[in-house]
Amino acid sequence: MAEDLERVKKRVEELREEIRKHDYYYYVLNQPIISDAEYDRLFRELQELEEKYPELITPDSPTQRVGAPPAEEFAPVHHAIPMLSLQNCFTQEEFLEWDRRVRRLLGGERPVYVCEPKLDGLSVELMYEDGVFTVGSTRGDGYVGEDVTRNLRTIRQLPLKLLPLDGRVPRLLEVRGEVYMEKEAFRRLNREREERGEPPFANPRNAAAGSLRQLDPSITAGRPLKLFCYALGRVEGLEIKTQEELLTLLARLGFPVNPLWRRCEGPEEVFEFYRELLERRGDLPYEADGCVVKVNDFSQRELLGEVSRAPRWAIAFKFPAEEATTRVLDIVVQVGRTGALTPVAILEPVEVSGVTVSRATLHNEDEVKRKDVRIGDWVVVRRAGEVIPEVVKSIPERRTGKEREFRMPARCPACGGPVVRPPGEVAHRCENLSCPARIKESIRHFASRRAADIEGLGEKLVDQLVEKGLVRRISDLYRLTKEELAALERMGEKSAQNLLEQLERSKGMSLARFIYALGIRYVGEHTAEVLAERFGSLEELANASYEELVEIPEIGPRIAQSIVDFFASEDNRRLIAELAALGIAPRSEAKPPEEKPLSGKTFVFTGRLSGLSREEARRLVESRGGRVASSVSRKVDYVVVGEEPGSKLARARELGIPILSEREFRELLGG
């Protein structure tokens, strides 16, 4: 038996090594060397072995990136070496001034610089002890940050274990870097949030910060965070003398390092780097707000030291702001597909980093109030990396007294129906299902690129189709005739024919796209994919109960209720039957949920367990498909009581939740 376990242990370690290597190729180098299927096989084999032998699970196992239970608060982490901030400069003049001071302090020597893009995210410190990731923290105030280890673990680029250098790893290594979100991922996240009626994040930086500082790591795990490393804290057992050496070494140890860094000899080369980066700025997948210029040589850095919490050996050379000031000519209200009313500022056109902006979203009424934006105001507008322009703030100092406050209309501007604001929501809504603005938006959504992808069914055409009464619901699209289409403005035989072909082609869309295209509230692309995979057909989904839906890990109560409501509607059921009759009924391969002995069961622990730690107990529950919660509520199935239990025991009694002793708990687990 013992021999058996040894063999399993060896295999588990082999698998981890192998998976770590492929994670590095895939997530850090962006160059996978095996197929996804092969990777999945390795990963599943490891998961199965760990399930069978939970005692072999270690925190650095690739399976342990997700699944930690929510925390009640973040513990403080002291940074042994403070995490400083950077001084800024905005012009070549200012940079030259900084360079002159550096040279003077170095006794006339000309330092070599290393330039790196300055990413707009949030900085973190990652501690590795004997090559294993142990603690990760935010910068905080520079001296004390927050322990976000479990959230950082979910970032696939972050090495849980270092790749050895010549067979060795440093005793202690604190690496610093930036956690960020790419622009595309940010846009997608915001789209999903808006669909769910949640307030969107203002910019990728806020989205990254909000995602990392989540008490529930499973939320972080669902957010596409990325990492670049660029600096050091404490180091033991490794000697590094320059920034160049550091960046090369970090990459070899398995850290993601931004490949755009460059060695620059003197200010001219720095300016060239800056210009090139500024030019590429729009094409970069992430937002960069400047470049960081650092003295390469660490011994020179020591001579230079620091002032007022910023080093003298580095400076952030910032790009010009993507902001401009202009006037608000009007505030209009747009009606979305779900009936949500969005105030939009109509602006006197203004150029913001090369693009003319004449409209900017104000999100909702609360935002208008918070920013105190009035019609006629001067405002600051920002265009953050191709995101929809937004009004940052008003400039009350420039008011003349003629400005008018904005009021959400009591009636829908499109159909005249009543406007309501459901309790607990930020958005006002038009509740009229046949509101033409809503119909237009739902048809546009259905036809959009990520949904049914019907090319040629543009905004103007949808307007005409709805206004002429040719289309009242999605199914009407598939009944349009060539004659009807050709008779519309700006349409001819040819474009009518093309559109019919596009419509025909769209009948073959995937089930996930179809679910997304229906425009069920709170169901974004990702949720649609999850649902398609779980149910395999629309019919199955339509018949799913609320209970079945909330059982799915990524489906919360609000989404589940919205899906149930959608399919409970007679109208929607008819629409789906019509679509099926027209030949649109995509299917996918459904995967039934994996059943494990404790699937769907939630445990709470209180008091000290004698034979195992809390962490071990949690792993035992999770490896059998169960969950561990931190507080007692009606949703909890068992409360496990150790020595000197806390108030949770009383609460469990109050709610009549089954109480288990440690022995009973072990029995339940199967010995």
Interface positions with ligand IVH (CB under 6 A): 84-86, 116, 118-119, 123, 139, 178, 230-231, 292, 311, 314, 316
Quickly count: other Cβ atoms within 10 Å of residue 355's Cβ: 12
Contacts of 489 (CB under 8 A, 6+ apart): 464
Contacts of 118 (CB under 8 A, 6+ apart): 288, 289, 290, 291, 292, 316, 318
- Rounded Cα–Cα distance for residues 165 and 252 (Å): 7
Quickly count: other Cβ atoms within 10 Å of residue 349's Cβ: 11
Quickly count: other Cβ atoms within 10 Å of residue 372's Cβ: 12
Among 621, 655, 614, 662, which Cα is nearest to 641's? Answer: 662
Residue 114 pairs with which residues in a beta bridge?
A: 263, 294
Structure tokens at 336: 């979305």
- Rounded Cα–Cα distance for residues 646 and 516 (Å): 46
Residue 412 · residue 338 · CB < 8 Å: no
Contacts of 86 (CB under 8 A, 6+ apart): 292, 310, 311, 314, 315, 316
- Rounded Cα–Cα distance for residues 195 and 521 (Å): 6
- Rounded Cα–Cα distance for residues 528 and 575 (Å): 18
Quickly count: other Cβ atoms within 10 Å of residue 357's Cβ: 21
Phi and psi at 367, nearest 5°, equal -65, -40
Among 448, 386, 391, which Cα is nearest to 183's? Answer: 386
- Rounded Cα–Cα distance for residues 93 and 110 (Å): 18
118 is catalytic: yes
Residue 651 · residue 632 · CB < 8 Å: yes
* 262, amino acid identity: R
Crossing angle for the helix pair 92-105 and 267-280, to the nearest 10 degrees: 140
Contacts of 449 (CB under 8 A, 6+ apart): none
- Rounded Cα–Cα distance for residues 314 and 330 (Å): 45
Structure tokens at 449: 């690129």
* Residue linked to tokens 């923290």: 137
CA angle centred on 67, ends 62 and 69, rounded to 5°:
140
> Where in 139-275 does DSSP place strands (E)?
144-146, 172-181, 225-236, 262-265
DSSP state of 608: B
**What radius of gyration do the chain's Cα atoms show?**
29
Helices then strands, counting H and E runs in the chain, come out as 25, 24
3-state secondary structure of 286: coil
- Rounded Cα–Cα distance for residues 375 and 260 (Å): 44
Exactly one of 21, 118, 226, 241 is catalytic; name it. Answer: 118
Quickly count: other Cβ atoms within 10 Å of residue 184's Cβ: 14
How do strand 310-311 and strand 306-307 relate by DSSP bridges?
A: antiparallel
Q: For the chain, give the number of residues.
A: 671
- Rounded Cα–Cα distance for residues 518 and 445 (Å): 8
Contacts of 173 (CB under 8 A, 6+ apart): 127, 128, 162, 232, 234, 235, 236, 238, 253
For the annotated catalytic residues, the residue numbers are 118
